[in-house]
Amino acid sequence: MRYRMLSLALSAAAVRAAATTYDYIVVGSGPGGGPLAAELARAGFSTLLLEAGGDEGDNPTYADLMNFNEAANDEATRWDFWVKHSDDPERELKFEHTVYDTGDGTFHIGPDPPEGAKHLGIQYPRAAVLGGCAMHNAAVCTLPADDDWNIIVNKTGDTSWEADNMRKYLKKMERVQYLAAGNPDRGYDGWLATSVGDTSWAKNNSNPQTRIAKKVAELTGQDPENVASLVGTDILAKADKMDEKNSFYNMAQHMDSQGKRNSPNNYVRATIADPAKYPLTLQLHTLVTRVLFDEATVGEGKTPRAIGVEVMEGPSLYGADPKHVKGTKGPVSQILAKREVIVAGGAFNSPQILKLSGVGPADELKKFGIPVVKDLPGVGENLGDNYEGSLLALGQAPVEAGLMTLLFRTPSAPDKKRNIFTWCGAFSFEGFWPGFPTDHGPTQYTCAIVHMQPKSQTGTVKLVSANPQDTPDINFRFFDKHGDQDLKELVEAADILREAIHAAGPPVQPLVEQHPCKQTLNCTFEEKKEYFKTQAYSHHATSTCAIGGDDDKFAVLDSKFRVRGVAGLRVVDASAFPVVPGAFPSCPTMMLSVKAAEDIIAEAKGQK
């Protein structure tokens, strides 16, 4: 078979022939790629799973969920993307945790950098490791609003995306640890354990956290006298009009009952170790540099066909890796796929790989001398994320209780759906920077705020060169459209929570707010709005290879994850979502992965 090499700079001596051809090649082992590769292999298809990082599944830093902050800071797996939140350089410098490279191997965080320091931007850490970002996150497992699934039905006409149908993928992959057997909507023998925390603190009416919860209940239309029961509500339960209900929840996490992280890492390793000898091959420390195409299929009026990938082998080859030494390269080879190449690199790397392969906006590709295989203007566009912020205060004594989790609607939300996910407790979370979070001492109290359904998704992932080791230029363009409305909703959320935390009573009171109001009981609406505009952060990027309809020129994928206008190539990860799915995309992306496997296997068996 002939193939098209899209790297004119590579000499023939630098390329060695692939030793093996697989049915499927899956690029990336995170929530999108890991489950998909395991499912394909279990269906009998020879599958190669490529991962740029290593395997830390037995490392307590990753295996014990309580260490998630340490995991996200660990240079062993961390990829640092330095992103922008806007096109305004002055606004970017106002971010209190913006990062500078001092030149001596250290970072400077915040304003007033030392002379000669290089401004890097806002840290957006990703995980280069078997299991992807599901190995360094807080493992929160929630579902999107029904409409976040149904939007795909509306765009494509594919009813398999209806919310009721999508729940079956949660059931298929879940091994619930906290419910008695027999719930027809939940799974008990899947590969992903789910557990919840202890909410017994709410039975103690003298506990400051209980007093805060009762005030929250009053402010959000719940029964304050029933808080002890309400905080144990199952966040993964199925109920009518759930997305319109203000409610406390017990936060579910993808971990087992012993606090051990569960992720695609577990599923991939279990599939490889299974006595059934499923045909899954895992190749670590392998950076995919581009997708290969059959030369005979590339050209005007033809449908290009993906037939494999080009890879560079070795550790720390990507520029986002803090251990990367510029100029370091590894041996380059090609690996072929008989059926398909499936890209699952995430919202930053999937569009980069497509563009490096000649699939993307033609003008951008030509700028870097990349031959155009398929002009797809939507690749790298539509980048979106939730807006995140927090209400942080310091008390006179610790609030010694577990987390309080709540989803609710603010007064000015444009429809009946709740728009805020929050969790409150004695912790600090103010975004990401090297060494995060700041420990404000034992009396710190935070309500972390996630604003769902952002009304602006105009961010971009752009190439900076044709070098696959270079990180792309990433700009989220926060609040670019309808920003005033989203900011108003964030302020309203903080105002509700502020009123609630001041019900803590002795010995915690008085609580001294650190932000958004700085050491005052209140501040003006404009001050609070400005705080969220300049200090909002995020870590749930999606939608840069979005599924869309035939009439949408920016649609990258069809409803079966196939790259439009290209054969043998799909994208299966969070970049496929047209909109940000709910508050936390980890479990929804795993569900998407299991659905993709079902679609691909059905299609493959139909071709036999």
Q: What is the pLDDT of residue 14?
A: 31
Cα–Cα dist 281/304, whole Å: 27
Give domain limits for the chain.
20-61+139-144+262-381+545-607, 198-250+386-463+472-535
Q: What is the pLDDT of residue 12?
A: 27
Q: What is the pLDDT of residue 18?
A: 43
- Residue 356 burial by CB count (10 A; 0-12/13-18/19+): exposed, middle or buried? buried
Task: Give the rounded percent of residues in the chain with a pLDDT score beyond 70.
Answer: 96
Provide the strand spans (E) within 13-148.
Answer: 15-16, 21-27, 47-50, 78-83, 99-101, 107-109, 118-127
| DSSP three-state, residue 44 | coil
Q: What is the pLDDT of residue 69?
A: 97
Residue range 89-135, pLDDT digits in tens: 999 999 999 999 999 999 999 999 999 999 999 999 999 999 999 99
Q: What is the pLDDT of residue 522?
A: 78
Q: Is the pLDDT of residue 251 over 90?
A: yes
Q: What is the pLDDT of residue 8?
A: 28
Instruction: Judge whether 566 is annotated as a binding position.
Output: no
| DSSP three-state, residue 389 | strand
Is the pTM here over 0.85, yes or no? Answer: yes
Q: At what angle do helices 33-42 and 586-607 cross, to 10 degrees?
A: 30
Q: What is the mean pLDDT of residues 33-57?
A: 98
Which pLDDT band, with edges at 50, 70 and 90, does 10 fall under?
A: very low
Q: Does residue 279 contact residue 44 with C-beta atoms inside 8 Å?
A: yes
Q: What is the mean pLDDT of residues 316-343?
A: 98
- Residue 314 has what DSSP assignment? S
Instruction: Judge whether 298 is annotated as a binding position.
Output: no
Which pLDDT band, with edges at 50, 70 and 90, does 13 fall under?
A: very low
Q: Is the pLDDT of residue 512 over 50?
A: yes
Residue 360's CB is within 10 A of a number of other CB atoms, namely: 30
Q: What is the pLDDT of residue 16?
A: 36
Superfamily of domain 20-61+139-144+262-381+545-607: FAD/NAD(P)-binding domain (3.50.50.60)
Cα–Cα dist 175/188, whole Å: 4
Query: Per the omega criterion (within 30 degrees of 0), is the bond before 111 cis?
Result: no
Output the six-digit token pair for 569.
């190539």
Which pLDDT band, with edges at 50, 70 and 90, does 9 fall under?
A: very low
Q: Does residue 135 contact residue 78 with C-beta atoms inside 8 Å?
A: no
Cα–Cα dist 263/269, whole Å: 10
Output the six-digit token pair for 38.
């395991």
State the pairing for strand pair 15-16/404-408: unpaired
Instruction: Judge whether 138 is annotated as a binding position.
Output: yes
Residue range 558-573, pLDDT digits in tens: 999 999 999 999 999 9
Cα–Cα dist 29/130, whole Å: 6
In the block, residue with structure tokens 């059905």: 602
Q: What is the pLDDT of residue 274?
A: 98
Q: What is the mean pLDDT of residues 209-229?
A: 98
Q: What is the pLDDT of residue 6?
A: 35
Q: Please report the DSSP string for 181-225 in residue order.
A: TT-TTS-SSSSEEEEE---GGGG-TTSHHHHHHHHHHHHTTS-GG
Which pLDDT band, with edges at 50, 70 and 90, does 361 fall under?
A: very high
Q: Does residue 380 contact residue 544 with C-beta atoms inside 8 Å?
A: yes
Instruction: Judge whether 207 is annotated as a binding position.
Output: no
In the block, residue with structure tokens 């996150």: 137
Q: What is the pLDDT of residue 1?
A: 36
What's the chain's length in residues?
608
Q: Does residue 253 contact residue 140 with C-beta atoms inside 8 Å?
A: yes
The stretches of 319-395 forming alpha helices (DSSP H) are 346-356, 362-367
Which pLDDT band, with edges at 50, 70 and 90, does 520 fall under?
A: confident
Q: What is the mean pLDDT of residues 506-517?
A: 96
Alpha-carbon separation of residue 509 from 92, 245, 347, 439 (angstroms): 35, 31, 43, 20
Provide the strand spans (E) within 84-242.
Answer: 99-101, 107-109, 118-127, 174-176, 192-196
Q: What is the pLDDT of residue 20?
A: 78
Fold classification of 198-250+386-463+472-535 is Cholesterol Oxidase; domain 2 (3.30.410)
Return the H-helix or E-strand segment holding 369: none
Residues in contact with 352: Cβ distance below 8 Å, sequence separation at least 6, in sequence order? 345, 380, 461, 463, 468, 472
Cα–Cα dist 367/223, whole Å: 60
Cα–Cα dist 447/432, whole Å: 16
Q: What is the pLDDT of residue 519?
A: 79
Cα–Cα dist 350/382, whole Å: 13
Closest by CA position to 53, among listed 317, 439, 335: 317
Cα–Cα dist 95/122, whole Å: 8
Cα–Cα dist 40/46, whole Å: 8
Q: Is the pLDDT of residue 7 over 80?
A: no
pLDDT mean across residues, the chain? 95
Give the Cα-Cα-Cα angle 423, 428, 431 (nearest 5 degrees): 90
- Amino acid letter for position 542: T
Instruction: Judge whether 129 is annotated as a binding position.
Output: yes
Which pLDDT band, with edges at 50, 70 and 90, does 5 fall under?
A: very low
Output the six-digit token pair for 39.
């499912």
Output the six-digit token pair for 131.
């299991």
Instruction: Judge whether 139 is annotated as a binding position.
Output: yes
Residue 259's CB is within 10 A of a number of other CB atoms, namely: 15
Task: Give the rounded percent of residues in the chain with a pLDDT score beyond 90.
Answer: 95
